[in-house]
Amino acid sequence: MTRGFNFSAGPAALPEAVLRQAQAELLEWGGARASVMEVSHRGKEFMALAEESERDLRDLLDMPSNYKVLFLQGGATQHFAQIPMNFARREGVADYVVSGAWGEKAVREGSPYTRVRLAASSLDSNYTCIPSRGQWDLDPRAAYVHYTPNETIHGVEFHDVPDTGDVPLVADMSSNILSRPLDVSRFGLIYAGAQKNIGASGLVVMIVREDLLERCPRDIARIMSYAEHAAHGSLLNTPNTFGWYLAALVFKWLKAEGGLAAIGERNRVKAERLYAAIDASAGFYVNRVECSARSWMNVPFFLPRPELDAMFLAESKEAGLLALKGHKAVGGMRASIYNAMPLAGVDALVDFMRDFARRHG
């Protein structure tokens, strides 16, 4: 068996160099004479890894000093509830801009903890575009404005950062964090499940402006308080040590690849090459997202006849192109081309798509 090109939306492909290093270090990590999964999270070896991983992340993002970095357990869905729990009063209000299924879920999970206002939505387009900025109804008294810069399921992405004035901007960047340079200072809070562009599932990386931590209430359990996690360096309880270790390796890999400017250019080229193949197929393949909102990370596309779907998936898998089935909410196909997907993988997919269209068109 040989590794295929993995187009899974998440858990997603990891850089091969990272996997090989993790494999080599699995039994004996550094000078610990034990696996990284077997050492204390409060021991000097792991503490050194934690500190270095934070420095690398800050360096990659050129992060301002007034932001805290947290390495937390769970996934983004847990934090859909935990964010309003920490930053919005029950009697207050938080604005949400929804451009896909994950934004919908953030609204649903956040509603028990604050009054959620739907400030804008592109549901009427079946989430094929970004809500028109002129239609956003933002409350200047809102605790924050939440949005999803990249919608993994629908393949819709913001290509700029919304201006929300004095109201903190909160972003679920699970599927596009570290995919290009980012001005962290535009945000109050950024959070991301690790399993797409950072590492393994079960870890969430959070970047939060220090002044927002002062809002965290004292009448919630300490384990739910971001202020408590920040005060304890993300070691309030036993963290996902292996997930943190993998994230640290990915940060090193990104720096070795030239940083976010270089990886962003690579991601732009990959996306343009795949969309060009779809658009040049004379309608055999169709992407329904408005061109200005097409995602660099997740590319859904549809074949001309549903009966071809199973054949496409079987043949693509046989060709070593894995996990191309679209999400059940949308159907069709979806190619997720995160940082770890090499250009060679996109080229292999494009060649297969052209050959499949020639044979079945």
Catalytic residues: 102, 172, 196
Give me the count of residues in the chain: 361
State the residue for tokens 């020639």.
Answer: 358
Q: How, if at all, do strands 67-73 and 203-209 pair?
A: antiparallel
Q: Which amino acid belongs to residue 255? A: K
Cα 96 from Cα 146, distance rounded (Å) = 5
β-bridge mates for residue 300, sequence order: 334
3 state DSSP class of 121: strand
Distance CA(227)–CA(189), nearest Å, equals 13
- Segment (H or E) for 191: strand 189-193
Give dist(CA 230, CA 5) in Å, integer: 38
Only one residue has tokens 């549809």, namely 302
**What is the per-residue DSSP string for 282-308?**
TTSSB--S-GGGB-SSEEEEB-SSGGG
CA geometry: angle 235, 233, 224, nearest 5 deg? 65
Residues 6+ apart with CB under 8 A from 337: 7, 267, 270, 271, 274, 296, 297, 298, 299, 345, 346
Write down the residue that tokens 């898998």 correspond to: 317
Tokens of 321: 């192109």
Q: Counting beta carbons within 10 angstroms of the beta carbon of residue 298, is it exposed (0 to 12), middle (13 to 18) or buried (19 or more)?
A: buried
The Cα 147–Cα 165 span in angstroms is 15
**Do residues 25 and 36 lie in contact, with contact meaning Cβ atoms separated by under 8 Å?**
yes
Which residues are registered as beta bridge partners of 73? 203
> What letter would DSSP give residue 325?
B
